[in-house]
Amino acid sequence: MRTARILPVVAVLLVAAALAGEKKVAGLFAPSRLQTASGELAKPESFYEAADCGECHVDQYREWKGSAHSRAHHDGIYRAFAELARKEAGEELYRFCSSCHAPLAVATGEIGKKGEATFLTDEGVTCDVCHNVRDIQLIHNSAGKNASIILEEGDVRYGPLENPVENPAHKSALSRIHARSELCSSCHTLVHPHNGLVIENTYEEWRVSPYAKAGINCRDCHMRTVDQALETAKKMQVIQVPGRTTDTDKRPDVKVHNFVGANTNQKAVGLGEAHAAEAKKRLQTATSIALELPANTPAGSPAKIVVAVTNVAAGHAIPTSITELRQVWIDLHVTTSDGKTVYRSGAIDGTGRVDPDAVMYHSVLVDAEGKVTYKPWKAVKMVKEKVIPPKSTVRETFEVSVPADTAGELVVKCVLRYRSAPQEVMDRLFGKGKFDIDIVDMASTEARLAVGKAAK
């Protein structure tokens, strides 16, 4: 078991990375690490629209459409941040962000041009983003960062299949990197392009986890249904699920192209209903919580209540990704048997703000002036990181004053809650009251605290 009460070692490493600085990146798409195999702007005609791929890969297109990958450039929350970054830091930073959110548009030079965007921008992380990756640059913890993919033009599509079927649409080639988490690391490791601060560290969280040791890669959970991912997490071994990649070839193992994570904000992001529902289900099955109560507490005395939170099914920390926005917190409510509140921690007020004294799993970034910021481009240091590593349990202790007139027992209710950003940040971005961020109850439990006679 691990207690997340102090700044973890990984956070210390993040601060050290920030102080060390970041080497200047050269190339067409700097400060992004994106490259083309030719070293020149890619030709737009080199890439297919997703619907073209869907003519043969029917299931994969259906699964991808409405996913967070398909909405990567038009996610309403991302768009608000991207436009704010563009306004405050310029076109170079906007292109940096777009290198992961619309890589083909950056590679072709479409991002930055005036005029109507094509599918290269609109489709975000589309089929040819992944399947035109010839290789990645291993430049951060033996993996990638900041869109460090190498895109190849031409007629070849890369994938993990040992014996791809010949077809009239394109050539196919085996790529070992497509079966490894390093491919995902290229965009799921975000390092500040100028000061070296590690802001998104999902790949590294996985790399040092039991999942990596068991040979379970990103795709073994995020290219599966939630039920399949849960089976993988329970058995701690890769499972195979038969399927088809076209309407003719049946294979012993085919991945699901829904790329579901924790994003449930369907309206703002534009997710498909099925994707949002799967995301909610993933959140509601990722953790477990348990209450540890004293056998008996005299009335008028303090009771120590321990909440144990376990990351049971995520191959990375909870929360992960942009943890300066993500919030996971404990809502603990102790009442008398008739419902009168005795103690509360983690409540939300009328403005959507979480109790500032709540036990919160997240990170805190500060800018050059030492002020807390939710803008990654302004961050220079991570001053706090409190997360739950994979397959780990953290224990939080609450001291509750039991009223002297209590008789019998108290009711203890505990809920672990999640939202992808603070409500006050959404109010700043969209206007007060215009966008209510989704809150998902990840896990809950209830118990009775026995109360004895007051000590004399």
Query: Looking at the predicted structure, is the pLDDT value of residue 193 above 90?
Result: yes
**Per-residue pLDDT at 142:** 84
Residue 430 belongs to a domain with what CATH number?
A: 2.60.40.10
**Residue 249 pLDDT grade (very low, low, confident, very high; cuts 50, 70, 90):** confident
Domain limit, last residue, from 191, 220, 239: 191
Q: Are 73 and 94 in contact (CB under 8 A)?
A: no
For the chain, the domain total comes to 2
Domain-located, residue 63: yes
**Does the structure show a pLDDT above 80 at 114?**
no
Assess if residue 258 is contained within a domain: no
> What six digits make up the tokens of 119?
């599918």
- The per-residue pLDDT for range 326-367, each reduced to its tens digit, is 999 999 999 999 899 999 999 999 999 999 999 999 999 999
Closest CA to 363 of 330, 398, 317: 317
pLDDT recorded at residue 22 = 63
Domain end call among 191, 219, 240: 191
> What would the pLDDT profile of 409-443 be if each residue is shown by its tens digit?
999 999 999 999 999 999 999 998 888 899 999 99
Is 12 contained in some domain?
no
The pTM is what?
0.92
Specify if 445 maps to a domain: yes
pLDDT reading at 72 higher than 80: yes
Stretch 172-192: mean pLDDT, rounded? 95
355-357-361-364 Cα dihedral, nearest 10 degrees:
100
Same domain, 38 and 157: yes
| Inter-CA distances, 393 with 161, 235, 309, Å | 37, 18, 5
306 and 180 housed in the same domain: no
What pLDDT is stored for residue 456 in this prediction?
Answer: 61
Q: If you average pLDDT over every residue of the chain, what do you get?
A: 92
Q: Could you give the angle at the alpha carbon of 101 between the alpha carbons of 253 and 373, nearest 5°?
A: 120
Whether the per-residue pLDDT at 8 is higher than 70: the answer is no
**Lowest mean pLDDT: which of 67-76, 158-167, 184-193, 432-441?**
158-167
Do 307 and 178 fall into the same domain?
A: no
Residues 292 and 160 occupy one common structural domain = no
Residue 197: name the closest of 3, 363, 27 by CA. Answer: 363
Note whether 290 and 176 are same-domain residues: no
pLDDT-above-90 percentage for the chain: 82
Q: Give the domain range for residue 289.
A: 285-369+383-452
Residue 14 — very low, low, confident or very high, per pLDDT cuts 50/70/90? very low
Residue 146 belongs to a domain? yes
The average pLDDT across 161-165 equals 83
Within a domain: residue 406? yes
Whether residue 259 is contained in a domain is answered as: no
Question: What are the strands of the beta sheet with 35-36, ordered from one edge?
Answer: 35-36, 149-151, 133-136
Query: What's the rounded Cα separation, in Å, for the pair 323 and 208?
Result: 18
Q: Please say which residue of 139, 171, 191 terminates a domain.
A: 191
Q: Are residues 187 and 319 in the same domain?
A: no
pLDDT of 153 above 90: yes
Of 51-60, 263-272, 335-344, give the lowest mean pLDDT range. 263-272
Inside any domain, residue 17: no
